[in-house]
Structure 1
Amino acid sequence: MMKFLLRFGTPLFGVGCLIMLALIVTNRELPLHMFNGANLQSFKILFLSIILEAFPFILLGVLFSALLQVFVTDEHIQKFTPKNPIAGVLFGALLGILFPLCECGMIPVVRRLIRKGMPAYIGIVYLLAGPIVNPIVYASTFTAFRTSPAMAYSRMGLAFAVSVVIGLLFYKFMKMSPLKTAAPAFKMIQHNHSHSHESSNRGFRSRLASILSHSSDEFFEMGKYLIFGAFLTAILQTAIERSTFEAFANQPLFSYLFMMVFAFILSICSTSDAFIASSFSGMFDFGPLLAFLVFGPMIDLKNTLMLLTTFRVKIVFILIVLTALLTLIGAMITEVILL
């Protein structure tokens, strides 16, 4: 069933998304009576805003991935990656400080790093912590919660702790490569590796051509799933009414779960989600907002679809479950400690 959805679902939704883009450009509405004008207008705005928000970060991610492919050899990755698992996990959790990529652009970079020799558990730690543990996200969170600066510190600390624990668990129990088609990927590495050396011998033009080739391939591979995720996300956001938030806000456990599910559905970039969270500060307590800010950048709807193109389904499922449980427990403990 999953193979069928991944194979045929994306092209069908891609056609639907193209139709919606055409409607946005021509300012027309769907000839369906079940959608009123206000809801459809909200859907079009949300759909376009998600794509425009994520587009530059995916482009940055695939360009950075292509630069890694052309200029960084497998030996470089293996040389600078710590061999000690604890040091490796800490290295992966803090790598976002040097390379502050959004979650939209993380997946192609992490896939490239793993294929070039970085241990998979370190790549997964970077994938989780990178979108949060970086100076850009810290600054945006601190700005959004000026009256409660503890939120910025707590967000960085909880994201760091969750990613480190998951990294250690994956190091201990993950025995196979988490990537899909591990063997063909290895062959592709060898081919691309030799190709990059040939490019370096031929000069700048060959390197530039190789960068553009790798970038375009990964951009179109990731881009179709971004459109698919944006389409579903816009539908779900349009369907949820504000009264739904009020019904869950005063529930001790469900307020956490609701905000985590809401973060998953919203799929907002980690550099701007703090401003969304701050708008609910008068309705939800500190803990649920913290869970929203940590879980969303790690796991959301659009990057789950992109994760499924890179990692095996079992790995993605385990990653989602572990991240959700650790974020929920960590947010509850943090709220108790601070209050």
Structure 2
Amino acid sequence: MTSQTTRPPRSGRLDGQVVAVLLVLVAALPVVRLLGPGLDAPAFQAWATVFVAIVVQSVPFLVLGVVLSGLISALLSERAVSRLLPRNPALAVPVAGVAGIGLPTCECAAVPVASGLARRGVPSAVALTFLLAAPAVNPAVIVSTAVAFSGRTDMVAARFLASMAVAIVVGWIYVALAQRLPALRLPRIGGPVHSHGGNGRLGAFVGAAWHDFLPAAGFLVVGALIAAAVKVLVPLEIVESVAGQFLLSVVVLAAFAFVVALCSEADAFIAVSLTAFSDTAKLVFLVVGPAMDVKLAAMEAGQWGRQFALQFVPLVLVLATTIACLVGWVML
């Protein structure tokens, strides 16, 4: 029996994604033909303009951020991060948060990587800190946020600090409570640790970059479709009435981030298009999404159990919204 768990070949998954995209395009052709003259309507033209503008502006910088993340992922490893963590959980929590910069990972990989850290003996609080930090503070997210907001350092810094604070505060809460509440500890479930890798560092880089780009680009397109539809179809007076009320706008964008489940490397381009909302409400959207969305909640329930998810998901949502509001109030 070999010591390593056999992983299915990556090419099958990628071929499936390509086939799915082609099927969607083929299915769209008769829809376009049926719409016919409706495609020339001013509303559709406005929607198409907004959609194309978002996608064209964001894709080059999304590629740049993904390449940067791929390089870092190829040079560092999950095992190296676990060795660098201090033995004291309270001290290891902020280190794990910073490790999210050095070992970036997409949302779909964050849960398996956190589980892998827990299996290697890393305390639950530390693994959860990395789970929250890695998708939110990695270089791809920083670059995309800077580009989307036209180099506004205050928004970039506010997103970075708020996301890091959420990860560290949640980690410290679990350090304080996990010993008294066993339900808060991560079960050490078996199975292979998620890996973007291939053969050698070049293979790891190509695998990581390609793995991150496909879902990020897909979520970017979906988000652009939704943002363009909201901008064109929702009456301006409704948007302004919601955006004009601070508490309501924060709740709406937090719920939007949770339900839409955008990729953190693309959500900044969607946030900047929500021009009627305040910077603080946009920051809530940017902080809540990578920390907790419906996709992550389902993955965490499947990985660590429903009881854990019922405690962890509301805690993260409340803390992410509150901390983002505080950081936005101070910095924006």
TM bucket (normalised to shorter chain) is: 0.5 to 0.7
Deviations 1:268-288 (A, max 9, x none): 21112111111123x111110
- Give the letter aligned to residue 248 of structure 2: F
Q: Is the 8 A contact 1:260 1:295 kept in 2?
A: yes
- The reply on whether 1:251 has 2:255 as its aligned counterpart is no
Structure 1 gaps, min length 5: 1-17, 31-35, 193-206, 213-225
- The reply on whether 1:89 has 2:93 as its aligned counterpart is yes
Structure 2 gaps, min length 5: 1-18, 32-37, 204-215
Deviations 1:82-133 (A, max 9, x none): 1112211111111111112222322222222222222221111111111122
Q: 2:186 aligns with which of 162, 175, 178?
A: 178
- Give the letter aligned to residue 234 of structure 2: R
Deviations 1:162-217 (A, max 9, x none): 111100111222235423xx47x3xx68xx9xxxxxxxxxxxxxx97xxx9xxxxx
Matches of 2:326 and 2:268, distance apart in 1: 20
Which residue matches 2:257?
263
- Give the letter aligned to residue 263 of structure 2: C
Give the match's secondary structure for 1:131. Answer: helix
Which residue matches 1:27?
28
- The reply on whether 1:279 has 2:287 as its aligned counterpart is no
Matches of 2:170 and 2:105, distance apart in 1: 20
Q: Is the 8 A contact 1:295 1:327 kept in 2?
A: yes
Give the match's secondary structure for 2:262. Answer: coil
Q: 1:239 Cα deviation (Å)?
A: 8.8
Q: 1:305 aligns with which of 289, 293, 298?
A: 298
Aligned-pair Cα RMSD in Å: 4.8
- The reply on whether 1:289 has 2:293 as its aligned counterpart is no
- The reply on whether 1:242 has 2:246 as its aligned counterpart is no
Matches of 1:85 and 1:20, distance apart in 2: 44
Give the match's secondary structure for 2:167. Answer: helix
Q: 1:315 Cα deviation (Å)?
A: 2.1
Change (3 A) 1:173 1:235: farther
Matches of 1:128 and 1:164, distance apart in 2: 9
Matches of 1:280 and 1:19, distance apart in 2: 30
Give the match's secondary structure for 2:246. Answer: coil
Change (3 A) 1:238 1:334: closer
Matches of 2:20 and 2:144, distance apart in 1: 35
Q: Is the 8 A contact 2:227 2:270 kept in 1?
A: no
Matches of 1:89 and 1:242, distance apart in 2: 43
Identity %: 28
Q: How does 1:193-232 map to 2 (within 5 A)?
A: none
- Give the letter aligned to residue 301 of structure 2: L
Change (3 A) 1:317 1:237: farther
Give the match's secondary structure for 2:105. Answer: coil
Calculate the TM-score normalised by the size of structure 1.
Answer: 0.63
Change (3 A) 1:116 1:285: same
Give the match's secondary structure for 2:265. Answer: coil
Q: 1:80 aligns with which of 60, 67, 84?
A: 84
Moved over 6 A (4+): 18-21, 232-240
- The reply on whether 1:155 has 2:155 as its aligned counterpart is no
Change (3 A) 1:151 1:104: same
- The reply on whether 1:167 has 2:168 as its aligned counterpart is no
Matches of 2:159 and 2:286, distance apart in 1: 7
Give the match's secondary structure for 1:151. Answer: helix
